[in-house]
Every structure is written in structure tokens, then in C-alpha cells.
Amino acid sequence: MKKGNPFGTHRVIEPKGVLPQPALKIDNTMEIYDNEILIDVKTLNVDSASFTQIKDQAEGDLETIKDIMKGIVAERGKHQNPVTGSGGMLTGTIKEIGPALVGKTSLKVGDKIATLVSLSLTPLVIEEILAIRKDIDQVDIKGQAILFESGIFAKMPDDMPENLALSVLDVAGAPAQTAKLVKPGDTVLVVGGAGKSGILCLYEAKKRAGITGKVICMAHSEASLDRVKKLNLADAYIAGDATDAVGVYEKIAEMTDGELCDIVINCVSRPSCEMSSILACKDNGTVYFFSMATSFTKAALGAEGVGKDVNMIIGNGYTKGHAEIALQILRESEPLKRLYSEIYA
């Protein structure tokens, strides 16, 4: 059996010398190296920015969505959207474990897991697409995937349905980073607060900011805000277009008596929402861009252009304990769990 690199560089075809995520093409043959894990895939949870782009390109047609997804994997050996650069994650069952990992991993053949590394670096084969749940970005397939030695994962919990756990684990980095960033007394804005990651961020922000803090939920429509209001997940609510930077700034300035926000969390899955988040943040505050639709160039040069001295955090989907933090939210809040189940499971 061939020996592999812990980070999966042995799978890179083009260009040589890079890691699997930025690679244009990787080897997706399903014969494992000595330090790899083979997974029988059940479901792909495509990241929101990527799936939104694919749906737009396909004009919502399911067969065209299938063709686009299969084409991406055929070209790249992984599901990395060439427009957004992002992927998603998957659930499946462990089929084979490389001998070099025996004794090093807690996994065993037959375990059900969710990978917590991006599909944009995961060797993948799609034999057949069985079902598409386009409203929640989930695609059931017949296929296989490879988890590298350095790849992180979570065993599927046994106290909630798999599709529900998958939806939560897909965005686990957002509420976990929120828990790290928000302090008692902070004013926090969650842009895209009625979405999959935004709802969890609101819960964690309200918990951390406490009674002396203020959590503001912004969503695109009053209808989406209504479901969040019923759960009392925020202290204030605004509907608006996140691409309208000045409009958002004016609303937040009025709502905060000109003080603006200590923390702004951007969960919007569409592009060109960087400046609304930056303008809504006070100087020396923090903007956390969880959305994979974020443009580093627009954020960096846009902040410079308006003279904003803010700390900007790229939406790293991983922070220690993120899976446990995200799942715990559903265990703590039965109303939120019901809402999440209605929408995403």
C-alpha cells in the first residue's frame, strides 16, 4: 500500500506543490493510501454560497443542477465550485481505514460520520445523484470519498436525526466563533440572521452578550424575520438588502444612537455584502465574515476606502470544539431545535 502525506498532497495532480484545497485537480481514485480513510457517502451538504450559485446557473432545474455537480467533480476530482471556490461537507459510513491510522484514530469501520473539512479538498466520486433538497442545500448520492489523516470529523449524534445534525455541523464554525468573539455588554449585528448559520449565531450572541448587551438580527424580508422573532433570538430586528451598505449603516446608526456595533457577523450567502458589515461596525470593533461569498479584496480595500479601522476575521469554519458547541445549542433550546427541524430536516 502506498504511503501518503498527512495533508493529502500526494493526491494533487495540478499544480504540483500545493495543498489539495487550492489545487485545480486532485486524484479521486478510491484506492486508499496507508493514512487515508474511505467513506461510503450518503449526503453532500453543499455550502450555501456554492449551492446558491449553482441553482442560479441552473435556473432551478434539478437535472441541470445534477449535471453541474457531476461536471465539477469530473473536472476537479472534488466538489469545488469554480465560481465561489467553496465546497461544503458530507456524511457517510466508514468503509476502510488505512493501516497507518490504526491505533491513531477513534474511528472504526461502520461508524457514521460527518466530515468537518471542505468538499473543496476532499477526493470524491459521484456514481449517482439520488435526491436533491435544493431548499436546504443537501444532495443524496451514491458515491465515495477520502478523508486525509489531517482531516477532522464528528461522529453522528444518536439523539437527533441525521439530516438535522448535518445541517448544524455544516455551519458549526459560525456559532462557535461567535461564542469566542462576543463579550457581556456587546452590541452585536448578525447579517443574514434568519438563515441556517445566522440563527445559531443569534442564539450564541444573545447568550454571551447577556442582559447588558444588544443583539440585532438583520434579514432580507419581514417574513424570514417573523420566525426568528417568535423565538426571541434577538433584541432588535431589521429587514433590508445587505448589498445596500449605506442603507444598512443608516439603520444601524439610528438603532444604536450612532454608536454602531462591537461585533458584526456576516452570514449572507450572496456576494457584495462586505461593506454593509464594515460600515455597521464601530472603529476597533470586529467583523466576522462567515460567508464564503465574501471577497477579501472588496472587504480590505473597501474598509480602507471609507477609513474604517476594524478587525476583520476570515470565516474559518473550524475552531476547537465547534461541533460540540453547535449541537449543544439544539440540546439547550427545544424551540430552536423545532424551528431548525422544520426548515432543515
Across 235-245, average pLDDT: 97
Question: What pLDDT was estimated at residue 283?
Answer: 97
Question: What pLDDT was estimated at residue 328?
Answer: 95
Across 119-141, average pLDDT: 96
Q: Which helix (H) or strand (E) holds 206?
A: helix 196-209
Summary mean pLDDT of the chain:
95
Query: Residue 49 phi/psi, 5° resolution?
Result: -60, -45
- For residue 143, the SS3 value is strand
Question: What pLDDT was estimated at residue 269?
Answer: 85
Please tell me the distance from the alpha carbon of residue 164 to that of residue 330, in angstroms, as a whole number: 10
Question: What pLDDT was estimated at residue 214?
Answer: 98
pLDDT tens digits along 162-195? 889 988 998 999 999 999 999 999 999 999 999 9
Question: What pLDDT was estimated at residue 81?
Answer: 97
DSSP secondary structure letter of residue 305: H
Please tell me the distance from the alpha carbon of residue 96 to that of residue 152, in angstroms, as a whole number: 16
Strand-pairing partners, residue 196, are none
Q: Which of 130, 139, 129 is nearest to 70 (CA)?
A: 129
pTM: 0.86
Question: What pLDDT was estimated at residue 337?
Answer: 93
Residue 250 has pLDDT above 90, yes or no: yes
Q: What DSSP string runs through 44-107?
A: EEE-HHHHHHHHHHHTT-HHHHHHHHHHHHHHHSS---TTT---EEEEEEEEEE-GGGTTT-S-
Residue 112 has pLDDT above 90, yes or no: yes
- For residue 129, the SS3 value is strand
pLDDT tens digits along 71-104? 999 999 999 999 999 999 999 999 999 999 999 9
Residue 345 has pLDDT above 80, yes or no: no
Across 57-61, average pLDDT: 96
Residue 56 has pLDDT above 80, yes or no: yes
Question: What pLDDT was estimated at residue 163?
Answer: 86
pLDDT tens digits along 269-317? 889 999 999 999 999 999 999 988 899 999 999 999 999 999 999 987 8
Question: Which pLDDT band, with edges at 50, 70 and 90, does 21 fall under?
Answer: very high
Question: What pLDDT was estimated at residue 333?
Answer: 95
Residue 119 has pLDDT above 80, yes or no: yes
DSSP secondary structure letter of residue 11: G
Across 234-247, average pLDDT: 97
Question: What pLDDT was estimated at residue 98?
Answer: 97
Please tell me the distance from the alpha carbon of residue 117 to that of residue 69, in angstroms, as a whole number: 18
Domain boundaries 173-344, CATH class: alpha beta
Residue 148 has pLDDT above 80, yes or no: yes
* Domain ranges (residues) in the chain: 9-156, 173-344
